[in-house]
Amino acid sequence: MNYIGEHLLPGQLGHFFIVLALVSALVATISYFKATNSRDLSDERSWKKLGRIAFSINAFSILSVFVLLVYIMASHKFEYYYAWNHTSRDMNPQYLLAAFWEGQEGSFLLWSFWYVVIGLYFIARKTKWEAPIMSVIAIAQICLATMVLGLYIGETMIGSNPFLLVREKFADAPVFARADYLSLPQMQDGQGLNQLLQNYWMVIHPPVLFLGFAASIIPFAYAIAGLWKKDYGTWTREALPYSLFAAGILGLGIMMGAAWAYESLTFGGYWAWDPVENASLVPWLILVAGVHTQVIFNATGHSLRTTYLFFILSFIMVVFSTFLTRSGVLGDSSVHSFTDLGMNTQLLLFLLIFTIPSLGLYLVRYKQIPHIAREEETSSREFWMFIGSLVLFLSAMVITWQNSFNPIYNKITGQSTAAPEDVEFSYNKIQIFVAIVIGLLTAFAQYLKYKKTGKGWLKKFVVPTVITAAICVIYFLVSGLDYDKKGIGFQIAIYLAFVAGVYALVANASYIWSGLNGKLKAAGGSITHVGFALSLIGILISASNRKVLSFNTTGINLKWDERSKEKPLENLTLIKGVPTDMGDYMATFVNADSTNSNGNISYYRIDMMRKDSAENFTLYPNLIRNTKGMEGFSNNPDSKHYWNRDIFSYITYAADMDNRDDTAQFKRYTVNVKDTVYYSNGFFTLNTVVPNPNNKKYQFQPTDTALMADITVFSKEGTRFTAQPVFYVEGNEARYIVDTVFAQNIAIAFSRVLENQKIELQVKESNRMVPFIALKVYEFPHINLLWAGIIVMTMGFGVSMVYRRKQGRLKAINKI
Amino acid sequence: MKKTHIIILIFIAVAIAVLISFMGDLTTYDTVASARQKEGKFVHLIAKLDKSQPVEYDPIKNPNYMRFMAVDTLGNSTPVIYHNAMKCPSKYKEDVEANKNNLSSN
């Protein structure tokens, strides 16, 4: 059939470039492989030349694929599944890139794009390690190209092609029987970007994270190059800036993800030990361990074997994390694992292609890797740095085990083991001790000297110790750390970790002056440690002292199942326009507003007023209707940021979330004073009838004709409410004012005056009385320490990188 | 034996001990029927919201109480009481089938 209106050229071009990318990566791999192994210099040169050309073609192809796919998405070519599935016309153009990497194909392309950048950089640098490094990168490019290939070999699909058409994806859907299917309304717009990803962090977090993932191949490739060429110890100086770069960027990328989670998810924090988070943390921990052993080796000649191991494993863990999060094996254990595209075997192969040869080579060459038989002095810096690296590495291994044991064990054995009852605590109770040890080691290791430390070092340590003690004592007296839910043991551990964090902060900050005479350029390590310590302190304070502000203050007595471990009462109902007591604040739900054209985002304006001062501010948490055919809404939090705390709020329920119509009718009752009327949740009694009431609520004059029924409502729960409906005459017409008891969902009207002192009351029961929301509000104290710490840490990595690069160059010149 | 080796051994021993205690904390995925056999134990239950039954949630009366019926793959159902408001359960998992339905139904 000839379909009308399809634009097939960009897709055909795109797919051609994917195939070209694959082929050129293969050629580049072979050429660079030959170049690495050739003994003849001219031979090597010609192979290298071929490799460069092939890699350049690969680079051009990947960039073309990137541009073509962006073009298809930006120009709303909804005949393409990727555009149809990930974008929509009303999507803000700034989220185009977020939509690009929403799908697996886009994120593989992003990853491949960074290898293009890294590869071109190494070709331009003309290092003597170019051939082996580029061999490794080219193999990675082969693997990534197959992920987006979308070719069938027999029954097996290899990769998922981002240029697939909708009619190819859903070949059996009846609409494609029509040649003009593109003119149908369902093809005029796409499914849109997942509402949770419509956040600026989602534009920037994936590129940074993937740059970190991609950059971790550099130390890996250097290590492989060293083993391959049997030139074991000469690459480490040259490679140090790159491993610092990889660690810095990966750390930043991970924490940008945490910032996104904090801003747009509602688990009430920035880290949940979710498998996806863990999978990216593990390579970072190993990479940081590797950076430290690399520094040790450069300074002393120790720890080269460990450096190899750490760099090889950190990259393997990057690929393993890809396997874990994309293959769907995590399935039930993660709230946000990616869709299973049916590429498990392929992902497993990707993992094995890197794991087996690299670890095999490492084991074969292990004995040849130079090492110093004499042991490090206990007073030496390298000894304690090594211990620290070891702790980081083991921490990574423990996390890996906890993270992947269940899904893999279940997959293999068919068992149904599941995560512990309190998942977060199962990690926290281990990592808190890692934090203590790492904090203390970070504090004092720099004060030691390489090889051997003389006696005087403790003196330099006196001032930081005194300052640390002072800060801790003051903080503990003024504020303390309130987390006692897990018992006194864990609380003590939190206190210890706090002390260790402050110690690391103070000791490293003062080392910049006492050890380095204030030379900031050389202080990259100390700056990074200061940032790390700040983050640690920020995490401890904000997580331990997190406060729920939205405690239910309505006085409704709730009965809890004694076995329930849920913390009750964390949601507070706010009725529109009624200021409600919320801890230090009075909260008022003012109104709800839709801002975008199709009304799928509603912002709820909450005015917060402090009780003890005139200070007030407004929060706008919102609800976004789910896209992609999912039911329901997603709640997006809003925070008020102060320098020392955040007020974090999100909607847990809004009355207009579901459009149940109010079909309830008024029922009539004829009553006398002292009569009782029953309703579904209790009863009420007419106490008296007051003529011309003049109180807070009504101001009638003695000349008016008005009657107020004074009613007490008794609910089943034992609470009492007052209702005061009014009947009055105005301009010879009978009118009445309904009074509503919101907490009981009843409205009572005084509708008529009857004979014999009887009156007619009308009662309506409905849960649709008035707009209201249920709100959850947290206070995160000192969360800015965490974010500031991350920024300082990243800057520290940058400073180190520049310094080490210069140092490496000087060393190289000195050798000549 | 070098002291580094001793320290490594101690750390590994600690790590193993920690992991063994972790294994003890593990729970299981259950169905409604098998979960009923384990009263008082913490289990993970994978079940769907039973849409034929009403969801009881009335924030005006109590924003911290939700009751609904969940039905597992074997068709057994159980009431669920949740003392909190609902969180969004599926994050960015997409439902290809739902998309396909959109294609056919509009």
N- to C-terminal Cα distance for chain A?
71
What b/e sequence results for A337-363 when a residue is b if at least 16 CB atoms lie within 10 Å of its CB, and e otherwise?
Answer: bbeebebeebbeebbeebbeebeebbe
Number of Cβ within a 10 Å radius of residue A461:
17
Query: In this structure, what token pair is assigned to residue A789?
Result: 């710490």
Report DSSP state, residue A109. Answer: H
Q: How many domains does chain B have?
A: 1
Strand boundaries in A494-614, DSSP class E: 547-548, 572-575, 580-582, 585-594, 601-610
For residue B95, the chain A residues in CB contact (below 8 A) are 628-630
> Phi/psi at A564 (nearest 5 deg)?
-65, 130
Q: Is residue B2 part of a domain?
A: no
pLDDT, position A391: 95
Residue A350 Cα distances to A72, A147, A330, A345, B48, angstroms: 29, 10, 18, 9, 35
Q: Is residue B21 part of a domain?
A: no
Q: Which amino acid is at A814?
A: N
| CA–CA separation, A160 and A18 (whole Å) | 11
Secondary element (H or E) of residue A241: helix A236-264
Q: Which of A539, A637, A525, A638 is nearest to A281 (CA)?
A: A539
Cβ atoms of A461 and A444 closer than 8 Å: yes
| CA–CA separation, A94 and A599 (whole Å) | 19
Cβ atoms of A33 and A25 closer than 8 Å: no
pLDDT, position B3: 83
Q: Which of A783, A743, A427, A481 is nearest to A637 (CA)?
A: A783
> What is the β-pairing status of strands A156-158 and A746-753?
unpaired
Q: Which amino acid is at A414?
A: G
Q: Is residue B98 part of a domain?
A: no
Query: In this structure, what token pair is assigned to residue A428?
Result: 């926290």
Q: Where are the domains of chain A?
A: 1-198, 230-419, 422-545+786-816, 572-659, 667-767
Contacts of A33 (CB under 8 A, 6+ apart): A135
Mutation choice for A interface testing from B20, B93, B104, B106 by most A CBs within 10 A? B93
Which residues in chain A land under pLDDT 50? 337, 555-566, 568, 658-661
For residue A102, the chain B residues in CB contact (below 8 A) are 92
Q: Is residue B95 part of a domain?
A: no
Q: Is residue B75 part of a domain?
A: yes
B3 CB-contact burial (10 Å; exposed 0-12 / middle 13-18 / buried 19+): exposed
pLDDT, position A128: 92
Minimal C-alpha gap between A121 and chain B (Å): 34
pLDDT, position A450: 92
pLDDT, position A146: 95
Q: Do B11 and A186 touch (CB under 8 A)?
A: no
Q: Do A652 and B86 touch (CB under 8 A)?
A: yes
| CA–CA separation, A476 and A502 (whole Å) | 12
pLDDT digits (tens, 9 = 90+) for A661-705: 455 677 888 899 889 998 888 899 999 998 888 887 788 888 888
SS3 (DSSP) at A703: coil
Q: Do B90 and A335 touch (CB under 8 A)?
A: yes
Query: What is Dmax (Cα atoms) for chain A?
Result: 120
| CA–CA separation, A100 and A83 (whole Å) | 9
Instruction: Please give the order of strands across the beta sheet that includes A746-753.
Output: A667-671, A759-765, A746-753, A739-741
Stated length of chain A: 816
Q: Is residue B4 part of a domain?
A: no
pLDDT, position A739: 81
Contacts of A797 (CB under 8 A, 6+ apart): A244, A245, A247, A248, A249, A251, A524, A528
pLDDT digits (tens, 9 = 90+) for B33-54: 888 888 888 888 878 888 888 8
Q: Do B94 and A339 touch (CB under 8 A)?
A: yes
What are the residues facing A653 on neighbouring strands? A774
A814 CB-contact burial (10 Å; exposed 0-12 / middle 13-18 / buried 19+): exposed
Q: Which of A84, A107, A111, A108 is nearest to A97 (CA)?
A: A107
CA atoms within 13 A on the CB side of A111: 25
* Cβ-nearest to B22 among A336, A402, A568: A402
* Cβ-nearest to B42 among A194, A402, A421: A421
Minimal C-alpha gap between A520 and chain B (Å): 33
DSSP A336-391: TPPP--S-HHHHHHHHHHHHHHHHHHHHHHGGGS----SPPPTTSHHHHHHHHHHH
Q: Is residue B100 part of a domain?
A: no
pLDDT digits (tens, 9 = 90+) for A99-128: 999 888 999 999 999 999 999 999 999 899
Query: In this structure, what token pair is assigned to residue A678?
Result: 């029953």
| CA–CA separation, A203 and A201 (whole Å) | 5
What are the residues facing A606 on neighbouring strands? A589, A619
Minimal C-alpha gap between A340 and chain B (Å): 9
Q: Is residue B102 part of a domain?
A: no
Tokens 């006085």, residue located:
A555
Question: Is 0.95 exceeded by the ipTM?
Answer: no
pLDDT digits (tens, 9 = 90+) for A323-361: 888 877 776 555 554 555 678 889 999 999 999 999 999
Cβ atoms of A708 and A690 closer than 8 Å: yes
Number of Cβ within a 10 Å radius of residue A391:
23
N- to C-terminal Cα distance for chain B?
75
| CA–CA separation, A781 and A587 (whole Å) | 20
> Phi/psi at A586 (nearest 5 deg)?
-105, 125
Residue A368 Cα distances to A220, A231, A234, angstroms: 18, 10, 14
Minimal C-alpha gap between A561 and chain B (Å): 10
| CA–CA separation, B80 and B67 (whole Å) | 5
> Phi/psi at A750 (nearest 5 deg)?
-100, 100
Helices A200-215 and A217-228: crossing angle in degrees, nearest 10, is 10
Q: Which of A608, A547, A613 is nearest to A580 (CA)?
A: A608
pLDDT digits (tens, 9 = 90+) for B56-102: 777 666 777 778 888 888 888 888 887 666 544 444 455 566 667 76
Nearest CA in chain A to B106: A186
The domain in which residue B70 lies consists of 28-90
Cβ atoms of A250 and A799 closer than 8 Å: no
For residue B40, the chain A residues in CB contact (below 8 A) are 563
For residue B23, the chain A residues in CB contact (below 8 A) are 405
> Phi/psi at A738 (nearest 5 deg)?
-80, 140
Cβ atoms of A781 and A542 closer than 8 Å: yes
Nearest CA in chain A to B102: A629
pLDDT, position A114: 98
pLDDT, position A696: 76
pLDDT, position A812: 65
